[in-house]
Amino acid sequence: MCIFNIGLASTGFFKGESSNRAALGMLLLWVLCYGFSAGPIGFVAAGETSTPRLRANTTAFNLGCYGAGL
């Protein structure tokens, strides 16, 4: 994941159509690797383990912590 982030950041130093395509390729590879890793399990676990009454609050808390980088 870190390699894809570095590759995506390095494409910003260049101008042109090829650097835009390289950035898009790095972004797509990052999304695919993240989707097949254990990263999305936190969202599923929070939605499935909470009670139906608290599910919206639990999911909002989970997204807030994820956005804050905790």
Q: What is the model's pLDDT at position 17? A: 92
Residue 32: give the domain boundaries.
Answer: 1-37
Spans of the chain below 50 pLDDT: none
Residues 4 and 22 in one domain: yes
Q: What is the model's pLDDT at position 49? A: 78
Both tokens of residue 67?
């956005």
CA distances (Å), 44 to each of 23, 35, 52, 57, 63, in order?
A: 29, 12, 14, 14, 12
Residues 1 and 29 in one domain: yes
Residues 19 and 50 in one domain: no
Residues 45 and 23 in one domain: no
Residues 46 and 66 in one domain: yes
Question: How many independent structural domains does the chain possess?
Answer: 2
Residues 57 and 69 in one domain: yes
The pTM of this model reads 0.57
